[in-house]
Amino acid sequence: MRKRGFLNLLVASAASGVGAGAALPSREKVRVAAASDLKFALAELADQYRRQSGQGIELNLGSSGQFAQQIRQGLPVDLYMSADEDFVFQLAASGLAQGRGFLYAMGRIAALVPKGSTVPLDAALSGLREAWPQVKHFAIANPQHAPYGRAARQALERLGLWDMARAKLVLGENIAQATQFVTSGAAQAGITALSLALAPEVGRLARHIVLPTHLHEPLRQRMVLLKGARPGAEEFYSFLQGSAARQVFERFGFAAG
């Protein structure tokens, strides 16, 4: 039952609207499209902001690359929080964003195995290499559009594991889905965002080890207000740049930008 509860939480409908019940009737919810590595950190921040301001926040979580494409196609969003700052820069160059945004965090990746797994974890993934026959499926996010998937591939390549892993890969549409594959036992190992691995909901179902930053290009996470953003979006954007938000980001493993 705990697994099912976590899975429902992790892949819950993007339109659930964190804190919507307490929003002031006269104020429209601020629409946020955010990278799925922010699932738990941003839910906490949105609830904290709702409690202090009365402003409802609608969180939409998914792949940074897919969101950028959907925004170009007209997705109605007030604030975009990407796990890769290049997507923000591209939207700014297209005239869809209010400037080039703010670097709110530096992301980290972690190797993940289900609780109870005998696969050993170490920063060089040497134990994983030795236990590879036990791994039928290895989960990462799709490197084509998910920044954390791209970082996972880079880490595997630099450790000399990519060719071995390719035959057993299962690709999540985003890093939250890749994490779900491991916590559910559908994959026997994988690489996830540290911010997800640190969440208690994940920690009850899996164990992890942080991977060194030199194994992948920096995960520079940037957010930006979009053109035509609703009233209230700028205040939430400012809140996410403040010290209270920084404390939450740090607790979920994000370094300062």
* pLDDT-derived band at 9, boundaries 50, 70, 90: very low
Asked if residue 154 and residue 59 are part of one domain, the reply reads: no
> pLDDT over 90 for what percent of the chain?
88
Q: pLDDT for 166-198, tens place per residue?
A: 999 999 999 999 999 999 999 999 999 999 999
Q: What span, in angstroms and rounded, lies between the C-alpha atoms of 172 and 163?
A: 19
Give the count of beta carbons closer than 10 Å to the beta carbon of residue 11.
18
* Of 203, 251, 254, the residue nearest 44 (C-alpha): 251
* pLDDT-derived band at 22, boundaries 50, 70, 90: very low
From the CA atom positions of the chain, what is the Rg in Å?
18
Q: What span, in angstroms and rounded, lies between the C-alpha atoms of 86 and 100?
A: 10
- Report pTM: 0.88
Asked if residue 179 and residue 52 are part of one domain, the reply reads: no
Judge whether 210 lies within some domain.
yes
Judge whether 133 lies within some domain.
yes
Torsions phi, psi for 209 (to 5 deg):
-140, 135
pLDDT of residue 19: 39
Q: CATH number for the domain including 33?
A: 3.40.190.10
